[in-house]
């Protein structure tokens, strides 16, 4: 029997969803559903200083308003620190992590972190934990970005000096724990894939299929993001938002589709989803 597809959408609650995040959520949802899969929602609330109060609830509300219901309960990373700790112990046992006492200033002056210059011994517990993988090469086939070869140029931090677990660690630990075998997300995360693939293997997991969707750009040629104040999605216009996002993903929605309910729009689209129809170029939304 072929393996069940398990995909996910994993927002960080640093702000409300915007149109670019809707495109990612919708693309990952449709790819999962069209392949008879499960689609999970995971809240990546790992970094309280960067979070916006109420954003997690707003994101979940927006997903529901757009008919994007995850299978099972939403998983919250803030409740899973024990898993990240165990994963670090596993890496420690293989001597794949080490302490880094370098300051930000030292790293900046050296033009980046280099393992051979790293201050690994020092008094106190003011250190980050880094994953030994610089210099490794990863080749993979991305569903939309095609053949990729990435050389890891720096050992990434897995636990920060302030004691917070890093995104790179938590995302891989959770994808393994949740059985995720297809990761569909925005092309801004393409460059993390080499490091994450190394971590999947080091932690005994299977590297998932990756697919990086094109990014929605603003008029200034930047990716829509919370940092450049992309407008929050208006949940009251869910059907129109979905139809617009479908257009971006390569569909040609028939006139009047936006007068349907989100659930009807999603079932129309999941029956017609075609990976090869997605236009791979990062671009502005056609007016
Ligand atoms: N939480 C990450 C973000 O919002 C995405 C993680 C992922 O999809 O791998 O950028």
* pLDDT tens, position by position, 71-84: 999 999 999 999 99
From the alpha carbon of 24, which atom of ligand 1 is closest? 8
For residues 229-258, give the mean pLDDT.
Answer: 95
Q: Answer whether CATH 3.40.50.620 is correct for domain 6-92+179-284.
A: yes
Say which range, 129-138, 212-221, 237-246, has the weakest mean pLDDT: 212-221
Mean pLDDT value of segment 197-205? 98
- When pLDDT is cut at 50, 70 and 90, the band that residue 128 belongs to is very high
Looking at residue 34, its pLDDT comes to 98
Q: Minimum mean pLDDT among 102-106, 155-159, 238-242: which range?
A: 102-106
Q: How far apart are CA 287 and CA 276, in angstroms?
A: 23
Q: Is the CB of 20 under 6 A from ligand 1?
A: no
What is residue 125's predicted lDDT score, i.e. its pLDDT?
87
36-43: average pLDDT: 98
Q: What pTM does this model have?
A: 0.96
Catalytic residues: 226
Cα pseudo-dihedral 140, 166, 12, 4, rounded to 10: 40
- Range 210-224 average pLDDT: 92
Tell me the pLDDT band of 287, cut-offs 50, 70 and 90: low
User: Measured between alpha carbons, how far is 239 from 247 in angstroms, rounded to an integer?
Assistant: 13
10 lines ligand 1 (CB under 6 A): yes
Q: Which atom of ligand 1 approaches the CA of 175 most closely?
A: 9
Q: Give residue-wise pLDDT tens across range 147-181.
A: 999 999 999 999 999 999 999 999 999 999 999 99
Q: Which whole number is the average pLDDT over 5-27?
A: 97
Strands (E) in the chain, as ranges, are 6-9, 38-43, 75-76, 97-100, 128-131, 137-142, 146-151, 157-159, 182-186, 209-213, 216-217, 283-284
Query: Ligand 1 centroid to 267 CA: how many Å?
Result: 25
With a pLDDT cut of 70, the percent of the chain lying above it is: 99
Which residue out of 8, 10, 80 has the highest number of ligand 1 atoms within 8 Å of its CB and is therefore the one to mutate? 10
């Amino acid at each position: 029997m072929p393996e069940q597809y398990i995909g996910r959408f994993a927002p960080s609650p640093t702000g409300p969803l915007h149109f670019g995040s809707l495109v990612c959520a919708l693309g990952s949802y449709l790819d999962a559903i069209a392949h008879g899969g499960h689609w999970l929602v995971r809240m990546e609330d790992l970094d309280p200083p960067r979070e916006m109060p109420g954003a997690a609830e707003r994101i979940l509300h927006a997903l529901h308003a757009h008919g994007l219901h995850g299978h099972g309960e939403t998983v919250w990373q803030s409740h899973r620190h024990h898993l990240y700790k165990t994963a670090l112990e596993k890496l420690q046992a293989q001597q794949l992590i080490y302490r880094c006492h370098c300051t930000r200033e030292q790293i900046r002056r050296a033009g980046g972190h280099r393992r051979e210059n790293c201050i690994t011994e020092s008094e106190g517990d003011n250190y980050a934990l880094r994953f030994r993988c610089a210099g490794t090469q990863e080749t993979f086939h991305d569903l939309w970005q095609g053949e990729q070869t990435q050389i890891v140029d720096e050992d990434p931090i897995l636990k920060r000096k302030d004691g917070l677990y890093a995104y790179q660690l938590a995302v891989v630990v959770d994808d393994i724990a949740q059985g995720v075998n297809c990761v569909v997300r925005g092309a801004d995360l393409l460059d993390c894939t080499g490091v994450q693939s190394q971590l999947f293997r080091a932690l005994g997991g299977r590297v998932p299929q990756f697919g990086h969707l094109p990014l929605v750009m603003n008029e200034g040629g930047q990716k829509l993001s919370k940092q450049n104040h992309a407008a929050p999605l208006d949940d009251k216009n869910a059907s129109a938002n979905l139809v617009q996002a479908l257009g971006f993903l390569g569909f040609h929605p028939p006139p009047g589709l936006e007068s349907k309910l989100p659930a009807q729009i999603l079932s129309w689209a999941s029956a017609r989803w075609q990976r090869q129809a997605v236009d791979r170029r990062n671009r502005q939304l056609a007016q």
